[in-house]
Amino acid sequence: MKSGKSSLYDDLKRQILTMELDPDEDLDEVSLSEKYGLSRTPVRDIFRRLAGEGYIDIRENRGARVIPLNHSTLRHFFLVAPMIYAAVGRLAVHNFKPKQLSDLTDTQERFRAASQRLDTLDMVLENNRFHEIMGEMSGNVYLQPSLGRLLVDHARIGHTFFHPRNDDMRQRLQLAVEHHDGFIEAIKTHDEHAVVDLVFKHWELSRENMELYVVPNDMKADLPAELGPWRKKDAQPV
């Protein structure tokens, strides 16, 4: 059985990744202490640990909050994510251990099962774990923290990827599952070029799906711009 401290750590990570806690949401130290049966000192320890991993932000005299997700965050994310994922993939091919490959395969089967039953929360968590394991495979102490920080926002930005609303999005989800299978096979066969090629295909798929959510195709204005009430010079008396 997990301790209250471990439960708090795991629950906060999960709630941030799955958007149960909104970006910028304040974390109430007192209520969390009561809920998990902890004094405020271990709660603060957990906050500091999660801040170091990129999940929360601790502000002087203002307490802790979920790490923001704003224009600046998105810009930095889209600029560097493909480069880091590609570097992680290259190193994973050369440095992976058999146990890590086994863990990656097991995680993929859980992700596949979650995608088949359209379980959004499990898909988010298993996808996150899949890419975490690839980071562990890289064995690079510089890349792993950067990857971990990216995955926090990738899970939050791409949350709708795992909540498909139409057949097109379901097909995209199936393609993501196939990409994961391809990663496993390419790593197993030490095919660096195949891994990097998949990284960019997988990234493009995620990016397109994020854009579909931000600018949905079925959004329509109530009136064409040229007929809007602000066009007073064109208005005709009723």
Q: Could you report the per-residue pLDDT of 7-26, keeping only the tens digit for each?
A: 999 999 999 999 999 999 99
Residue pair 104/187 in contact (Cβ under 8 Å)? The answer is yes
Query: Which has more confidence, 150 or 220?
Result: 150
CATH 1.10.10.10 residue ranges for the chain = 4-66
Q: Could you report the per-residue pLDDT of 24-59, keeping only the tens digit for each?
A: 999 999 999 999 999 999 999 999 999 999 999 998
Q: How many CB atoms lie within 10 A of CB 215?
A: 8
Query: Which has more confidence, 121 or 221?
Result: 121
The pLDDT, as a whole number, for residue 223 is: 46
pLDDT at 81 over 80: yes
pLDDT at 189 over 80: yes
pLDDT at 98 over 50: yes
pLDDT at 157 over 90: no
How far apart, in Å, are the Cα atoms of 168 and each of 1, 23, 94, 122?
A: 42, 28, 36, 21
The pLDDT, as a whole number, for residue 237 is: 41
pTM attached to this predicted model? 0.82
pLDDT at 236 over 70: no
The pLDDT, as a whole number, for residue 221 is: 47
Residues 6+ apart with CB under 8 A from 3: none
Task: Report the topology of domain 4-66.
Answer: Arc Repressor Mutant, subunit A (1.10.10)
Average pLDDT over residues 135-142: 96
CATH 1.20.120.530 residue ranges for the chain = 71-214
Q: What is the mean pLDDT of the chain?
A: 87
pLDDT at 224 over 60: no
Residue pair 57/159 in contact (Cβ under 8 Å)? The answer is no
The pLDDT, as a whole number, for residue 205 is: 85
- For the domain with range 71-214, which CATH number is right: 2.120.10.30, 2.40.240.20, 3.40.50.300, 1.20.120.530? 1.20.120.530
Q: How confident is the model at residue 212 (pLDDT cuts 50, 70, 90)?
A: low
d(CA 44, CA 70): 25
